[in-house]
């Protein structure tokens, strides 16, 4: 048995390898798109790109020269403004030194004092304007230095690209380098989507969509209180049954192993002409009909799958007044009294969440009295739900796609599966079915013993939607 650590390491390695493959595929797709978009030879493309880069470099050079001239002018203007500000400070200092004292303000020359006050006001205004202009020039110098750095960086990048373009010997190298420079973001997005996209979608479905569906009402085909329940035998590779006088068996040839002497045998084209297309899709054509027309007692019939030694069968006895909902493709044979045609009803539930979640929109209901031979790829398990004395409805949770047949009086409801990580890792489906009430149902096991399991894939999934 493999250790959990080794299993985790293998899954992680596969995940990383898949992410790398997704990134490489994105790069290849983008590179092919670039090649198809250019639609010119590599030499012509290189000449065009070289000319475009040289033209851009020339424009950048002119812009850089103009910017340098502006920087020089701004630096010179800043020096002049600083000198003017210093001169204004000196004049203000001398004017403030001429301020009269308290007695001079009262008895001094008022005209001269007014002139001095006006000169101080003009100098302060000039100093403020000079300081404001100095700040603006400093800001222009800083912005110019930043633009100059970006222009120089862009020119350096263009020089490197021109050098790489002139040195590229083959178009594959050119497109590989261009693709990596332009599509790195898309590659990272593809890798992230591969690594975490499934987990994100699982979280949205589990936390949002599953909650909405779980609020839908219960689903029930028919409500027949007190109707007798079908009796289901044990699952086995070989099943025996007796044909009593007057009874007729219609069975697929591949499921009839042997029978006693004394039975009238003939072929039957279709199981029932009421639903010919559905029964043809279910494989219920070319049947063998055995009739016990004598009164000498019962005759033994043995059923088994002659093509699959591991396929198990069950016998189902549907009493008179009772019924059972079964998928048509798992019914391999039916025993009725004389020429009595069993009543088979077709139900459609197109506007029910339970039907869409379970993957089954159509249902076949078999009325008694009759006996069915049921078999599918997997082994079958018989489950029952019985009401207790306190009249509380019991409930059972099973996987929706594992239900093969059930009593029509049971109520079904789609519920969210327990355990998010089990669902995210693909171990269980998103929805399960909760069966409530009183009745029986058939569930197929999820084992891998049958070699016919591989043939029970997409075809069975498509037929299941129609109840076949």
**DSSP secondary structure letters along 283-314:** T-EEEEEEE---SS--EEEEE--SS-TT--EE
DSSP output for 411-445: EEEEEEPS-HHHHHTTSS-SEEEEEESSEEEEEE-
pLDDT reported for residue 233: 87
CB 58 within 8 A of CB 162: no
pLDDT reported for residue 317: 92
User: 332-346 b/e with 16+ CB inside 10 Å = b?
Assistant: bbbbbeeeeebebee
CA dist., res. 356 & res. 391, Å (int):
30
User: 62-90 b/e with 16+ CB inside 10 Å = b?
Assistant: eebeebeeebeebeebbeebeebbeebee
Rounded to whole angstroms, the maximal C-alpha distance in the chain is 157
Nearest residue to 116 (alpha-carbon basis) of 90, 101, 96, 102? 96
Count helices and strands (H / E) in the chain: 10, 19
Look up tokens 């099973």; give the residue.
Answer: 398
pLDDT reported for residue 372: 93
Instruction: Say which residues have a Cβ less than 8 Å from residue 438's Cβ, sequence separation at least 6.
Output: 229, 385, 386, 387, 407, 409, 410
The values of phi and psi at residue 33, to 5°, are -65, -40
CA dist., res. 23 & res. 193, Å (int):
10
Burial of 34: CB neighbours in 10 Å, binned 0-12, 13-18, 19+: middle
* Domains of the chain from N-terminus onward: 10-194 (1.10.287), 231-464 (3.60.160)
Evaluate the CA torsion angle 342, 348, 352, 354 in order and state its sign: positive
CA dist., res. 319 & res. 339, Å (int):
17
Averages of pLDDT over runs of 10 residues in the chain (468 residues) are: 64 78 78 65 65 79 81 79 76 66 54 70 78 80 81 79 65 68 78 83 88 84 79 89 89 89 86 80 85 81 87 90 88 85 83 80 87 84 71 76 87 87 83 86 67 50 69
Q: What is the DSSP letter of 315?
A: E
CB 415 within 8 A of CB 395: no
The values of phi and psi at residue 83, to 5°, are -65, -45
Nearest residue to 239 (alpha-carbon basis) of 298, 309, 302? 302
What are the CA-CA distances from residue 280 to residues 162, 250, 272 (Å)?
Answer: 72, 15, 10
pLDDT reported for residue 302: 92
pLDDT reported for residue 303: 93
CB 75 within 8 A of CB 187: no
Look up tokens 């519920």; give the residue.
Answer: 415
First to last CA, the chain: 39
Residue 428: strand pairing partners = none
Structure tokens belonging to residue 311:
């396929």
- For the question of whether the overall pTM of this predicted structure is more than 0.75, the answer is no
Q: Which long-range contacts (CB under 8 A, 24 or more apart) does 144-148 make?
A: 144/67, 144/70, 144/71, 144/74, 145/71, 147/67, 148/64, 148/67, 148/68, 148/71
What are the CA-CA distances from residue 370 to residues 147, 341, 358, 373, 393 (Å)?
Answer: 92, 10, 27, 10, 29
CA dist., res. 246 & res. 269, Å (int):
21
């Amino acid at each position: 048995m493999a250790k959990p650590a080794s299993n985790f390491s293998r899954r992680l390695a596969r995940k990383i390898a898949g992410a790398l493959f997704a990134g490489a595929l994105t790069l290849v797709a983008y590179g092919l798109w670039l090649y198809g978009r250019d639609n010119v030879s590599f030499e012509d493309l290189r000449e065009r790109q070289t000319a475009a880069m040289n033209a851009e470099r020339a424009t950048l050079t002119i812009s850089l020269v103009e910017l340098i001239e502006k920087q020089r002018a701004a630096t010179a203007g800043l020096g002049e403004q600083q000198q003017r500000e210093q001169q204004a400070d000196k004049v203000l200092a001398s004017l403030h030194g001429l301020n009269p004292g308290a007695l001079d303000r009262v008895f001094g020359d008022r005209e001269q004092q007014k002139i001095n006050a006006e000169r101080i006001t003009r100098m302060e205004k000039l100093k403020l304007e000079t300081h404001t202009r100095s700040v603006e020039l400093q800001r222009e110098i800083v912005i110019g230095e930043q633009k100059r750095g970006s222009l120089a960086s862009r020119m350096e990048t263009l020089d490197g690209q021109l050098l790489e373009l002139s040195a590229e010997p083959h178009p594959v190298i050119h497109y590989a380098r261009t693709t990596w420079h332009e599509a790195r973001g898309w590659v990272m997005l593809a890798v992230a989507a591969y690594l975490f996209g499934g987990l994100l979608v699982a979280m949205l479905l589990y936390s949002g969509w599953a909650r909405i569906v779980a609020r839908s009402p219960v689903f029930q085909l028919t409500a027949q209180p007190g109707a007798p329940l079908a009796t289901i035998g044990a699952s086995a590779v070989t099943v025996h049954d007796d044909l009593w006088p007057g009874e007729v068996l219609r069975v697929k040839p591949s499921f009839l192993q042997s029978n006693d002497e004394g039975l009238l045998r003939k072929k039957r084209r279709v199981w029932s002409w009421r639903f010919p297309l559905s029964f043809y899709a279910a494989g219920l054509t070319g049947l063998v009909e055995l009739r016990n027309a004598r009164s000498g007692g019962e005759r033994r019939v043995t059923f088994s799958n002659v093509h699959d030694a591991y396929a198990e069968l069950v016998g189902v006895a549907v009493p008179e007044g009772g019924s059972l909902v079964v998928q048509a493709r798992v019914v391999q044979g039916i025993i009725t009294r004389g020429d009595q045609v069993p009543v088979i009803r077709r139900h459609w539930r197109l506007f029910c969440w339970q039907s869409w979640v379970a993957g089954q929109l159509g249902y076949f209901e078999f009325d008694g009295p009759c006996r069915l031979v049921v078999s599918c790829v997997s082994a079958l398990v018989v489950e029952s739900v019985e009401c207790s004395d306190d009249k509380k409805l019991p409930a059972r949770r099973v996987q929706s796609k594992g239900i093969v047949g059930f009593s029509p009086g049971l109520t079904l409801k789609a519920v969210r599966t327990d355990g998010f990580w089990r669902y995210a890792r693909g171990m269980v489906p998103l929805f399960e079915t909760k069966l409530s009430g009183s009745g029986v149902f058939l569930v197929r096991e999820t084992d891998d013993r049958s070699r016919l399991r591989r043939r029970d894939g997409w075809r069975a999934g498509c037929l299941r939607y129609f109840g076949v």
